[in-house]
Amino acid sequence: MKLEANIPSGPLAQKWDKHRFELKLVNPANKRKFDVLVVGSGLAGASAAATLAELGYGVKCFCYQDSPRRAHSIAAQGGINAAKNYPNDGDSVYRLFYDTIKGGDFRAREANVYRLAQVSGNIIDQCVAQGVPFAREYGGLLDNRSFGGAQVSRTFYARGQTGQQLLLGAYQALARQIGLGQVKMFPRTEMLDLVLIDGHAKGIVVRDLVSGQVSSHAGDAVVLATGGYGNVFFLSTNAKGCNVTATYRAYKKGAAFANPCYTQIHPTCIPVSGENQSKLTLMSESLRNDGRVWVPKTKGDKRAPSQIPDSDRDYYLERKYPSFGNLAPRDISSRAAKEVCDQGRGVGPGGLGVYLDFADAIGRLGEAKIRERYGNLFEMYERITGEDAYHAPMRIYPAVHYAMGGLWVDYNLMSNIPGLFVLGEANFSDHGANRLGASALMQGLADGYFILPYTIGHYFVTAKRPKPATSHAEFKKAEAEVQALTQRLLSIRGRRTVLSLHRELGKLLWEECGMARNDAGLKRALERIPALREEFWANVNVTGGPGELNQGLEYAGRVADFMEFAELLCLDALTRRESCGGHFREEFQTEEGEAKRDDEHFAFVSAWEHQGSGKPPLLHKEPLVYEEVHMSTRSYK
Amino acid sequence: MNLTLKVWRQKDAASPGRFETYPAPDVSADMSFLEMLDVVNEGLIAEGKDPIAFDSDCREGICGTCSLVINGVAHGGHTGTTACQLHMRHFKDGDTITIEPWRARPFPVLRDLVVDRAALDLIIQAGGFVSVNTGGAPDGNALPIPKPDAEEAMDAAACIGCGACVAACKNASAMLFVSAKVSHLGLLPQGKVERERRVARMVQAMDDAGFGACTVTGSCEAVCPKGISLAFIARMNREYGRALLLGA
């Protein structure tokens, strides 16, 4: 496998400009001859599908949901970053770039991140033009707020529903193209395999989730924008349907999977309440603008929060990180919460929680102001917990949230399989080992609106490959494999439900490969995952048939992939013998308990190549060469 | 608590449906309604029966996928709450709960509690957008928008497209859904450029899809999990009348 990052030469600030000039163009009249298959309709997928269609390409777009408007980008609450410097507080493209690189603990690719910062402003302009109702000041101009890991206010927002509004903007742009006949939309359709012809990605095999029919689609390129794999942990902030199937099956067809161990644990989620919990709900990080995080100073202090005087409280983020305080980045805040809970100072049932307290902010600004800023989040908290956070502090605990790892891509967002492009959370490229808040929306839209539309044309012009017919033997083979897998899942009729097996896998991963990892635990996980996988294939019970709407069957296929992917995740975590960002290895920490990177040995992207089932994957390394920034020790003190 | 469920079961759009009764034992007050259904389904699978099919995804009240009529009320009747955010603490031991799909002709049942809401997408495709291509947009601050207008547009834009308004309406009218989009875009200068064309086309698509007429009973507003106001329907009627006068 050859990993060629294709980073343009020249000064960092001029790379993208220079590259855009060097990219080959497709004549407007010729664009209609090319068909693109876009899988996923979140921010990245919908923006890409709409933009490619506007340019004149033929587009087919697929999503498992009943409508493209429901993709999980919709759940992002807090905001989207952009280096507009509207507040005049010292922001710039370079600062956004540097904050993102540093926030990612110097494990992202410099050139990609710089480009992301460069196009960030265009995203805001585009969204405003689409009618996204961003928050505004009384003068009519756009409002900004602060987010973790930054000392400037560069986050644009639409109440606590920024993801929803940005997705609806992209969805409407997509709907317009569907109405015009430029995009053919396939909702309730799941991609189950990638088809390669002469080494190029030329199609996909899908299952219609209503009729159960398996069919093939051929195109000139395939774009995966299928999100992250957080649900491998069973409990996460992801939607129930989020899965690794599209990217994992592409991996099995030869696409390199990069940095799977970089998973983000979000610090502000509602704590787990019971055994049957199906998902965790995030409370936007923006709450940390006004909320103060604390636990009692002494272990086992069972007094009600209002009975604990300030002198007996430990505002541990403010104490440990005075310059960033409650806005310390996610990985650091999550670990700090785990640390105080491990010390027995956690609050709430089971001691797995910390307080997020708004009393000071309400005292300073009044309840009305807090209600205006976070009203919907407080309501959401009350619906789930039955508690009123205006009068008692919220209880929060970290939960699995985002996957920085994903399929390996080059500067053009193309994977090592020519013709296979990967966008948004599904790729690995921009967030390094830790993503900053409000950067996922930025990346998804940057990839879809402003990067892929330029780079995909170059592939068409240079690859010069004919579009195959779906009668090609490779399609028939892939369809047969998909059907065989379906039959296999339906024929076991064992004694365990898919859900119980998924929950067991998730628990194992959370314990051994969650917020803190160590050699012994990862080795234990690597022994237990294959055993659990065997149990799955021997004893799972999937009812119903293949030719109908069968949610159990859909779920079983996704969990089958998680059962394999979990092993790759743990193997990557075991191999990376350093701590960086969201990947915290207990053996590698400073005396103060901070992550200790090892730039000498681990300044590379881990890209894993599938070697066939039953064989260990092969590790390839893409060295991270920093031309512009110096890899420093990350400090938020 | 121990509950009894009466659940609508239907194999597919072509088959007749019926209510089936299932016990839901040992339900904890902290569970969400859908988690309770998950547990019931675990039991059904263990007995070798087909689990109850129902739609859900984000389970945090924003994606608009879940679509249950609970005890006769779309989403279960708690203000501002989708079915996925409804928690079992609102029920008591011994309750019998009836669970049905959205019932409206434009939303055919696909299986059990799962319906097809593609008709809502068709309405958006007809005109629920601002016709701008990617690229070339002016600076975001080039066009100041009065805060009250932006706020009101956001109130309308909060619609999650779940279809509860249609399910609650005796005429299966989609006016609340359509008016939310017409109002969101019509209130902003970006959307004003094509406001007549938009409302005319969206109303046409709504009628073509078979949604009924609005008689302003307000049942839609009462069940809307995002509190979309009936006032938007009034606004849309004005927009529509204006468009007709202008010959759109």
Q: Give yes or no for residue A148 having a pLDDT over 90.
A: no
- Give this complex's ipTM: 0.98
Q: Would you say A235 and A209 are in contact if contact means Cβ atoms under 8 Å apart?
A: no
Q: Looking at beta carbons, which residues of chain B come within 8 Å of A500?
A: 42
Q: How far is A392 from chain B (nearest CA, A)?
A: 19
Which chain B residues touch A543 with a CB distance below 8 Å? 45, 48-51
Distances (CA, A) of A544 to A267, A498, B118, B213: 40, 14, 25, 39
Q: What is the dihedral of CA A185, A189, A190, A192, to 10 degrees?
A: -90
Tell me if A499 and B132 make a contact (CB, 8 A cut-off). no
Nearest to A412 by CA among A440, A441, A447: A447
pLDDT band of A304, cuts 50, 70, 90? very high
Residue A254, helix vs strand vs coil: coil
> Which residues in chain B are contacts of A240 at CB distance < 8 A?
56-59
State the pairing for strand pair B18-24/B3-9.
antiparallel
Tell me, what's the pLDDT at A472? 97
Residue B248 has pLDDT above 80, yes or no: no
pLDDT digits (tens, 9 = 90+) for B211-226: 999 999 999 999 999 9
> What is the C-alpha radius of gyration for chain B, rounded to an integer number of angstroms?
20
CB contact under 8 A, B56 and A240: yes
The Cα B79–Cα B227 span in angstroms is 8
- Pairwise CA distance, residues A475 & B141, whole Å: 50
Q: Could B63 and A75 be called an inter-chain contact, meaning their C-beta atoms sit closer than 8 Å?
A: yes
- As a three-state string, the secondary structure of chain B is CCEEEEEEECCCCCCCCEEEEEEECCCCCCCEHHHHHHHHHHHHHHCCCCCCCCCCCCCCCCCCCCCEEECCEECCCCCCCCHHHCEHHHCCCCCEEEEEECCCCCCCEEECCEECCHHHHHHHHHHCCCCCCCCCCCCCCCCCCCHHHHHHHHHHHCCCCCCHHHHHCCCCCCHHHHHHHHHHHHHCHHHHCCHHHHHHHHHHHHHHCCCCCCCCCCHHHHHCCCCCCCHHHHHHHHHHHHHHHCCC
- Partnered with residue A608 across adjacent β-strands are A257, A619
A-chain residues near B193 (CB < 8 A): none
Mutate to test the interface with A, among B15, B31, B59, B134 (most CBs of A within 10 A): B134
Residues of A carrying an active site annotation: 330
Within 8 A of B32 by CB-CB distance, chain A residues are 278, 384
> Which pLDDT value is given to residue A205?
98
CA A468 to chain centre: 32
Whether the per-residue pLDDT at A572 is higher than 90: the answer is yes
- Phi, psi at A201, each rounded to 5°: -75, 120
Tokens of B191: 């959307």
Which of A64, A240, A242 best probes binding to B when mutated, by most B CB atoms within 10 angstroms?
Answer: A240
* Cβ separation A279–B60 shorter than 8 A: yes
Report strand pairing: A292-296 vs A263-269: unpaired
Is residue A615's pLDDT more than 80?
A: yes
pLDDT number for residue A57: 98
Contact A65 B85 (CB under 8 A): no
Contacts of B102 in chain A (CB under 8 A): none
Contact B147/A at CB under 8 A = yes
* Stretch A280-300: mean pLDDT: 92
CA distance A281 to chain B (A): 7
Residue A354: its H or E element: strand A354-357
Query: How far is A561 from chain B, CA to nearest CA, in Å?
Result: 19
Higher pLDDT, B229 or A148: B229
Nearest chain A CA: its distance from B86 CA (Å): 7
pLDDT band at A79 (very low <50, low <70, confident <90, very high): very high
Q: Quick check: A605 and A624 in contact, CB under 8 A? A: yes
pLDDT per position as a tens digit, B63-89: 999 999 999 999 999 999 999 999 999
Q: Are A271 and A235 contacting, i.e. CB atoms less than 8 angstroms apart? A: no
In whole angstroms, what separates CA A580 from the centre of its chain? 17
- Residue whose entry in the numeric block shows the structure tokens 């902003």: B188
| Inter-chain residue contact B35 with A277, CB threshold 8 Å | yes
Among A133, A156, A384, whose Cβ lies nearest the Cβ of B184? A133
Sequence letter at residue A268: T
Question: Which of B:27-66 have CB within 8 Å of A?
Answer: 28, 30-32, 34-35, 38-39, 42, 45-46, 48-51, 53, 55-65
Question: In this predicted structure, what is the pLDDT of residue B52?
Answer: 98
A543: nearest CB among B49, B55, B57: B49
Q: Which pLDDT value is given to residue A568?
A: 98
Q: How far apart are CA A544 and CA A567, in angstroms?
A: 29
Contacts of A383 in chain B (CB under 8 A): 61, 80-81, 85, 87
Q: What is the pLDDT of residue A592?
A: 84
Residue of B nearest to A125 (CA): B140
pLDDT at A106 over 80: yes
Judged against a pLDDT cut of 90, whether residue A593 lies above it is answered with no
| Pairwise pLDDT comparison (A196 vs B248), residue with the higher score | A196
Reading the block at residue A531, the tokens are 């055993």
Domains, in order of start, for chain A = 265-401 (3.90.700.10), 473-616 (1.20.58.100)
Mean pLDDT over B195-204 rounds to 98
As given in the structure block, the two tokens for residue A637 are 């003190």
pLDDT band at A53 (very low <50, low <70, confident <90, very high): very high
Point out which residues pair with B18 in neighbouring strands: B9
User: Mean pLDDT over residues A462-488, rounded?
Assistant: 97
- Are A377 and A365 a contacting pair, CB within 8 Å? no
- CB interface of A with B, residues 364-423, below 8 Å: 379-380, 383-384, 386
Question: How does pLDDT run across B6-39, given as a tens digit for each residue?
Answer: 999 999 999 999 999 999 999 999 999 999 999 9
User: Taking CA atoms, what residue in B is nearest to A493?
Assistant: B48
> Which of B28, B57, B87 has the CB atom closest to A239's CB atom?
B57
Distance CA A127, CA A166 (A): 7
Q: Is the CB of B111 less than 8 angstroms away from the CB of A549?
A: yes
Inspect the interface and report whether the beta carbons of B141 and A168 lie closer than 8 Å.
Answer: no
Q: What Å distances lie between residue A485 and A214, A243, A244, A339, A556, CA to CA?
A: 12, 17, 16, 43, 10
Q: Which domains does chain B have, with CATH numbers?
A: 3-111 (3.10.20.30), 117-245 (1.10.1060.10)
β-pairing, A183-186 vs A58-62, is: parallel
Share of chain A above pLDDT 90, in %: 92
- Average pLDDT over all residues of chain A: 96
A78: confidence class by pLDDT, cuts 50, 70, 90: confident
**Chain B (188-207) residues lying within 8 Å, Cβ to Cβ, of chain A:** 188, 190-191
Residue contact B158–A66, C-beta within 8 A: no
| CB < 8 Å from A in window 76-135 of B | 80-81, 85, 87, 89, 110-111, 114, 116-118, 120-121, 124-135
Write out residues 282-301 of A within 8 Å (CB-CB) of B.
282
Alpha helices in A227-366 (DSSP H): 245-252, 316-320, 330-342, 359-365
CA distance A217 to A211: 17
Question: Whole-model pTM above 0.90?
Answer: yes
